[in-house]
Amino acid sequence: MSDDQDNGQDTGRALPERGLPAERVLGDVKALRAGDRPTHGGRLFAYVYDPAVPGLDELAAAAHAGSAHVNGLDPTAFPSLLAMENALVGAASRLLGGGTGTNAPDVVGSVTSGGTESLILAVKAARDARPDVAAPRIAVPTTAHAAFAKAAHYLRVALDPVPVDPVTLRPSAAAVAAAIGPDTVLVACSAPSYAHGVVDPVAEIAAVAAGAGVRCHVDACFGGWTLPWLRRLGEPVPPFDFAVAGVTSISVDLHKYAYAPKGVSVLLHRTPALRAPQFFAYAGWPGYTMVNPVIASTRSGGPIAAAYATLRHLGEDGYLRLAAATRDAVAGLADAVRCTHGLRLLAEPESTVVCFTSTDPTLDLFVLVDELTARGWHTQPQLSYGDLPASVHLTVTAAVAPRVAEFGPDLADAAAAARAAGPVELPAGLTALAATLTPDALTPELVAGLAAALGLGAAVADPGPAAAGGGAESGPGGGFAPDATVNALLDAAPPALRERLLVEFVGLLQRPTY
């Protein structure tokens, strides 16, 4: 490939024969990034959290760079990291009902790499606190984040799904109670759920869990850093934090609404004793004794320092201001949905999510999503599940506020275009195939055939540097952005088949480039 470089046809190889100048390399990364969805500007309603605060990115990047090579493996070797980590945990604790008040619980916590790691560790701590239970189980609402299922899978804990009311989108305390058995080690609830932005009845659920002697984890990964500010702004936020007696642990992601760069979440426990089984220690080898509070052992100080800098720069007044802007943006977007014929809010917004569905069979939500994309609005389609219809999810951040006025007309326009285009018609036989195919019957050949039938063949067969990041001609997101046809196919398939199909597709995408 060095020949390619010599010919000026560099393929973007990660390890060229001869190293390239810094400027050139940065230019390459920038070129690859050009095909990504826009992380800033308030037009991407998932994946990113943008406060649109001038200078904040630069500050966080500088703090990140200064600690990137510091290793969280040993807090005694790098006290700077320990100090910043303790300060972050303290800030999260104080915000969520811990702190130094006389009646405040003795909350402790750890900084993890993200919400998923926090949830896995909450499940691990609950599991390992009950060595008497041979086959532990967790009771989790069906609307709770998929990371609980991942935790159950990784930790070999059985998952008991708790049904939610199809109208309120919340589990009842009675349904939680019914799911608790002698082997239940943890009950979970969300504040709020990611998909719909609905806050579960935490106080009632925690009471049921406490009555059964079971831990109760509140997944506030998404909302833990917004609900307290919204409450201070006068919004009716129900009790969801350590002020609720039965709540034993809470997760809150700083890389979401604390607006820190990615790689930081906080897992809090009501007491040190509740946290103890989260830790892992091992001295049975000739090297250093490994003591890990979290899953990773070597950990970069970068994300922790960046989060620390972000929190200190924004301060309480900054977060309050950003929460107010976000609340107003949510109200404006929800109004736009209410004004659009054929759309209905799936839940009245009570946090920072706007989620809507279609009430008109001629208005296909997945087509609408594509029409919005064509107009520069990147929304997140959600497939139907059980008795819950397909929906469109908008994670709203402060950066959306100045854009709200543009959204309404574009939404109306996109809805009209989607109606004119009509619902997706899958290639003949594909709907029936999707509905009847079992995951086991999915061979790589069949997946390749499906990919080809859906027009994904070229993109997945040869992503190349352009499709990996610079495929402008195939739209934002590169060469494999699932479109309405793919979503319609997935929607027709049962969840187990969706999983298999997407695993196969992602497996096709994740191929080394040489």
Ligand X SMILES: Cc1ncc(COP(=O)(O)O)c(C=O)c1O
State the DSSP H helix or E strand holding residue 219, giving kind and residue range, or none if neither: strand 215-219
Walk across the sheet containing 343-345 and list its strands: 343-345, 353-358, 391-395, 380-382
What is the pattern of x (binds ligand X, CB under 6 A) and - over residues 369-398?
Answer: ------------------------------
Stretch that binds ligand X, among 115-123, 301-309, 328-336, 451-459 (CB under 6 A): 115-123
CB atoms closer than 10 angstroms to residue 15: 7
Cβ closer to ligand X: 47 or 282? 47
Residue 225 contacts ligand X per CB under 6 A: no
Question: Contacting ligand X (CB under 6 A), which of 51, 105, 115, 301?
Answer: 115
Give me the least distance between CB of 310 and ligand X, in Å please.
16
Whether a cis peptide bond, with omega within 30° of 0, leads into 192 is yes
Stretch that binds ligand X, among 114-122, 241-249, 281-289, 449-457 (CB under 6 A): 114-122
d(CA 215, CA 119): 13
State the DSSP H helix or E strand holding residue 353, giving kind and residue range, or none if neither: strand 353-358
Instruction: Output helix, strand, coil percentages for the chain, rounded to the nearest 5.
Output: 45, 15, 45
Is 275 within 8 Å of 269 (Cβ atoms)? yes
3-state secondary structure (DSSP) of residue 384? coil
Stretch that binds ligand X, among 33-41, 113-121, 351-359, 489-497 (CB under 6 A): 113-121
The first and second tokens of residue 171, run together, are 């589990």
State the DSSP H helix or E strand holding residue 327, giving kind and residue range, or none if neither: helix 302-338
Give me the least distance between CB of 504 and ligand X, in Å please.
22
d(CA 162, CA 253): 24
Quick one: which of 38, 36, 59, 33 has its CA closest to 259? Answer: 59
State the DSSP H helix or E strand holding residue 465, giving kind and residue range, or none if neither: helix 464-465
Question: Contacting ligand X (CB under 6 A), which of 160, 219, 350, 410?
Answer: 219
Give me the least distance between CB of 121 and ligand X, in Å please.
12
Residues 175-214 interacting with ligand X (rule: CB under 6 A): 190, 194
DSSP 8-state code for residue 167: T
DSSP secondary structure of 428-443 = TTHHHHHHH--GGG--
5 CB contacts (<8 Å, ≥6 apart)?
16, 17, 18
Stretch that binds ligand X, among 215-223, 301-309, 327-335, 351-359 (CB under 6 A): 215-223
Cβ closer to ligand X: 354 or 454? 354
Stretch that binds ligand X, among 79-87, 112-120, 239-247, 295-303 (CB under 6 A): 112-120
Give me the least distance between CB of 464 and ligand X, in Å please.
28
Cβ closer to ligand X: 117 or 371? 117
Stretch that binds ligand X, among 37-45, 51-59, 109-117, 163-171 (CB under 6 A): 109-117
Question: Contacting ligand X (CB under 6 A), which of 43, 137, 145, 270?
Answer: 145
CB-count exposure of residue 144 (10 Å: 0-12, 13-18, 19+):
buried
Give me the least distance between CB of 266 and ligand X, in Å please.
11
Cβ closer to ligand X: 139 or 447? 139
Q: Give the gyration radius of the chain's Cα atoms.
A: 24
Q: What is the pairing mode between strands 184-190 and 215-219?
A: parallel
Q: What would the 3-class secondary structure string for 286-316 be?
A: CCCCEEECCCCCCCECHHHHHHHHHHHHHHH
Give me the least distance between CB of 102 and ligand X, in Å please.
32
Residues 255-314 interacting with ligand X (rule: CB under 6 A): 265
Give me the least distance between CB of 107 and ligand X, in Å please.
19
Quick one: which of 356, 346, 352, 342 has its CA closest to 165? Answer: 346
Cβ closer to ligand X: 250 or 489? 250
Is 41 within 8 Å of 400 (Cβ atoms)? no
Give me the least distance between CB of 147 and ligand X, in Å please.
5
d(CA 364, CA 362): 6
C-beta nearest to ligand X: residue: 115
Question: Contacting ligand X (CB under 6 A), which of 120, 139, 221, 260?
Answer: 221
The first and second tokens of residue 290, run together, are 């490994």
Question: Contacting ligand X (CB under 6 A), which of 253, 350, 483, 504?
Answer: 253
Residues 116-135 interacting with ligand X (rule: CB under 6 A): 116, 119
d(CA 442, CA 461): 18
Count residues binding ligand X (CB under 6 A): 13
Give me the least distance between CB of 389 and ligand X, in Å please.
20
Give me the least distance between CB of 251 and ligand X, in Å please.
7
Give me the least distance between CB of 328 and ligand X, in Å please.
22
Residue 169 contacts ligand X per CB under 6 A: no
Give me the least distance between CB of 290 and ligand X, in Å please.
24
Question: Contacting ligand X (CB under 6 A), which of 105, 114, 228, 469?
Answer: 114
The residue ranges that bind ligand X (CB under 6 A) are 114-116, 119, 145, 147, 190, 194, 219, 221-222, 253, 265
